[in-house]
Amino acid sequence: MSDRGPSIAEHVTAVRARRVRIPDLVSDSLQRISMRNRTLGAFLHVLDEEARARAEALQSRLERGAWPGPLTGVPIAIKDNLCLRGVPTTAASRLLAGYRPPYTATAVARLLDAGAVIVGKTNLDEFAMGSSSEQGAFGPVRNPLDPQRVAGGSSGGSAAAVAAGMALGALGSDTGGSVRQPAAFCGLVGLKPHYGTVSRYGLIAFASSLDIIGPLARSVDDCARLWRVIAGRDRWDATSRDAEDRDPEGGRSLAELRLGVPRDWVGGRIEAPVREAFERFCAHLAARGAELVPVTLPDTEAGLACYHLLADAEAASNLARYDGVRYGSRAPEAGTLAALYRRTRGRGFGGEVRRRILLGTYVLRAGAYDRYYRRALRARDAIRAAFDQVLAGLDAVLTPMTPTRPFRLGTHLRDPLRMYASDRFAVMPNLTGWPALTFPITKPEARLPIGGQLCGGPHSEVRLLRLAAMLQGGGAA
């Protein structure tokens, strides 16, 4: 077993064989949180009493001969934009300080139904708007592998919790790379499922046509186990759908794979160590028989612009409800209703959220809607069509996950465009709506991890998980 704790499979096997007790394993997780969270800032709310009580209840069920489910006793962390009934849910914003939802997100409920133990709610960029988990109202998240560097965003707390062994797996949300980028920065596996295959019910909305909940874990197998539990249609989310297995040739070997590699992306603005690690990884795969096919994908700068136009417009619409009257903490009375709105939103929202609301509001105004928002919708259709054409005859497209390694805390905060550029490889799968997965392509002993990304076609989660396991076995740089 790893020094960061057992894998999910090892944990469940040990619990079922009665070699370990659930309360002891959950206590170990909570002890790690107690020891490391003050430094890392991964958790906003630790459910110490609740987790211990649930562990005892699950152990009692086990001793009575019941088997609660495939995640029995597994300590899981959830991002603090996912609702858990009666537990503070802030989305790292002062506007939601003190909010305790009266319901539980479907994805979280499915974890609980499978026997998981929720140990806490993790830190993030405010309302999931960011790429470093530094822009929340309650302090930054630090990377467990180097606390002077970011853990990535916006699901940085979830990634840090798993990388530091404080939880065996976690849920995050991915609107433009927010599961995959922090997973890459922390040396983890992160999956963005096909849009709609995981219910968004109980997820505090950022950009509704792009948001998707996804798992983070230390291995492909652990990630797959979490995805299988949370996936599927939900009557509370009209956009949800059943997950499908689009991997009819699951027994193929590494030597039979055809992977597209976008050389134009790799040769663009990318940090030299990332480019070199990616090229070494590709050389490993080619030496083991995989066919790497050069492909041309849509320009990343155009994709990034398209993403921000759509995401910020939807964010401006979604966050209009937080006015201190219908939703959100209210500022002191200000004389008029308009003044109350201004004071509530001005004090409650952080700088990055205000920036995106202003941009999105401008994009949706009369005179700009056709020029920007409608053109971005057409661009998204073109990007999806281009990916569909490229993927024909390929198992997947392989890219670097990020253009840089984890950067130092504070270095990108004063330059929003530099921060946004962190997502240039991440946003394309959100625009297509199709699955993507990141996994480490450097050896575990590497000081700063580097992630690769597999992009697939519709409902390709099973294929991407299988390919990632196969590619990791093919060698690391």
Which residues are marked as active site? 79, 154, 178
Strands (E), 123-240: 142-143, 146-150, 169-173, 189-192, 213-217
429 Cβ neighbours under 8 A, 6+ residues apart: 192, 435, 436, 455
Pairing between strand 213-217 and 451-455? Answer: unpaired
CA-wise closest residue to 25 among 61, 51, 60: 51
Amino acid at position 344, single letter: T
Separation between Cα atoms, residue 66 and residue 78, nearest integer Å: 26
Any bridge partners for residue 43, and if so which?
122
Alpha-helix runs per DSSP H in 104-148: 106-113
Q: How far is CA 30 from the centre of its chain?
A: 22
304 Cβ neighbours under 8 A, 6+ residues apart: 420, 421, 423, 424, 427
How big is the CA angle at 157 (ends 151 and 160), to the nearest 5 degrees? 55
Tokens 């798993």 locate to: 162
Burial class for 368, CB neighbours closer than 10 Å (0-12, 13-18, 19+): middle
